[in-house]
Amino acid sequence: MKYFNEAAETMSRDEIAAAQLKGLRLSLERAWRSEWSRALLKKGGLSDPGDVKSLDDLAKLPFLTKDDFRDAYPLKMLTVPREKILEFHQSSGSTGTPVVMAYTEADLDQWAECMARCFTMAGLEAGDAFQIMPTFGLFNGGFGCYHGCRKAKLFCVPASSGNTERQIKLMRDFGVKGFCSVVSYVPRIIEKLDEDASGDRDIPSLKVGVFGSETFSDELRRRIESRLHIECFDIYGMTETGGIGTTGQDCKAHAGIHVWEDQYITEIIDPVSGKPVPDGEYGEIVFTSLTREAMPIIRYRTHDITRILSRDKCACGRTHLRIDRITGRTDDMLIVKGVNFYPRQVEQALMEIPGVAGEFQIILEEHNGMTDVTVNVEAEPGVTGHTVAKHLRERLGFLPKGDVFPIGSLPRTEGKAKRVIRR
C-alpha cells in the first residue's frame, strides 16, 4: 500500500475531528481579517470567531455561494496582504463575473500536497512520466497538475491542451505512464489511435488516466479502460476550494472519492432547505477549508450532487470519508415532460447501447411553453435512431427525438464538452 503522506491519510476519526476543529477556528480567524468576509459572517449571525466551540457550531454559520465570490471580485476576500499573493486562477466567467482564487506560498504547497496524494493514490511513483493535458493559464487544471507533479517528483510532460497527434507522440516518445484531461477528450485520442495507418493503435507505457472537471458514467469509464488498457481515476476539486484535486479522488478500490478531511469539512445538505441530510442520502455537497490562507471558504455551496458513502476505513487503508462520484449539479438538472434527469444519466444510457460512441448532444427547444429534447449521437453503422430512442425511453421515462451520425461528425471543443444546447 503506497501513500504520499501516510500519517495524514490514515488518521483516526478522533484525530480527524481534532484537526477539523483546530482548522475551522483558524479559518474563521483568517476570514474575520477580511472586511468583506467579516460582514458576510456577521450578517449570518456570527458575532465573533471565538463563539465557535465545536464542530456542531458549523451548522450555525451562513453559507458562501458562487454569487458571493463574484461579488467579491477580484480580491475582496483576501485575508493576507496583497504582497503575499504568488499566483491566482479563475473560472471561465462564461456566465458572468469570474470566480477568483488567490494563493500564498502555503496555499500552493497545500494544493501540491493534495495533488501528490491523488497521484500516489492512482499508483504513480517518483520518476514516472505524467502528461498534463489541461490548459496552462487562468483555468486551474494545468497548473494544479504541475504543482502536484513537482511535489510527487514525477517526470512532468506539460503538453497542455489540443493537438491530439502530438499528445500521442509525446506519450509514446517519453514512455508516459499517466495523464490528466477532461474525460470528453479521451474519445478524440482513441479516434486518432484507430485512424493510425500503420496499425499501431496502442500506447504500451500508458497505465493511468486521471479525469476531472466533468462527470462521467461507469460505462464510459469501462470503455476507456478496456480500449486504452488503463485504470481510470475521478479527481475532484474546483476553483473555489483551491483547484483540481484539493478535495480528493477515488483510490484503487474505486469505492468512492476520498475527501481530504484534514483539509476540508464535508457537509451534504438538502438543496432546497439547506438542512443536513443523513449519510447515504443524495444532496448538495458543501465544503469548509481548514488550511487555506489567502481566501479560506466557510460552508461553500458547490451545487454538486452526491452522497456520503462511508466514514469507515477503506480497503486501501485510508480513513478519510468517501463520497459518491458526482451525479450532476443542482443547476444542470433538466426537466422534460415532467421527468427530471441529468446529462450524466443520458450518457450512462447511451453507453449501454452497443456501437454508440462517446460523443453526443442534448438539444433543448422551447415550443409554446413546452420543452422538446433531441439527443444526437455518434455510432457505428447499423445503430438506428429507433434503437437509441427506445433505449432512452426505457431508461429515462420519455421518448426524445434524435438522430445517429457517423463517428467524427458532431462538433468537438477544446476543454469541457458542451453536452447541452439550448435553442
Q: Extract the C-alpha cell encoding 213.
A: 472537471
* 3-state secondary structure at position 50: helix
Q: Which of 53-67, 219-233, 383-397 has the lowest mean pLDDT?
A: 383-397
Does the structure show a pLDDT above 70 at 92? no
Q: Given this model, what pLDDT does residue 218 score?
A: 84
Contacts of 274 (CB under 8 A, 6+ apart): 63
Q: Given this model, what pLDDT does residue 415 score?
A: 62
Q: Going by CATH, does the domain composed of 1-331 fall within 3.40.50.12780?
A: yes
From 93, 185, 88, select the one nearest 144 (Cα to Cα): 88
The CA distances from residue 301 to 104, 327, 368, 416, in Å, are: 23, 16, 34, 22
Strand pairing report for 420-422 and 178-181: unpaired
Contacts of 261 (CB under 8 A, 6+ apart): 11, 16, 19, 20, 320, 321
Q: Which of 168-177, 372-381, 382-391, 412-421 has the lowest mean pLDDT?
A: 412-421
Contacts 24+ apart (CB under 8 A), 141-146: 141/180, 141/212, 141/213, 141/243, 141/244, 143/87, 143/89, 143/243, 144/111, 144/115, 144/237, 144/243, 144/244, 144/245, 145/115, 145/180, 145/244
Does the structure show a pLDDT above 60 at 187? yes
What is 334-422's CATH topology? Answer: GMP Synthetase; Chain A, domain 3 (3.30.300)
Task: Give the CA radius of gyration of the chain.
Answer: 22
Q: What is the mean pLDDT of residues 148-162?
A: 96
What are the structural domain ranges in the chain? 1-331, 334-422
pLDDT by residue (tens digit) across 196-222?
877 788 999 999 999 988 877 788 889
Contacts of 360 (CB under 8 A, 6+ apart): 346, 347, 350, 375, 376, 377, 378, 410, 419
* 3-state secondary structure at position 206: coil
pLDDT by residue (tens digit) across 29-83?
999 999 999 999 999 999 999 999 999 999 999 999 999 999 999 999 999 999 9
From 364, 370, 363, 355, select the one nearest 407 (Cα to Cα): 355
What are residue 90's DSSP bridge partners?
100
CB 225 within 8 A of CB 201: no
Q: Given this model, what pLDDT does residue 60 score?
A: 93
Q: Given this model, what pLDDT does residue 336 score?
A: 67
Q: Extract the C-alpha cell encoding 7.
A: 500519517
CB 157 within 8 A of CB 132: yes
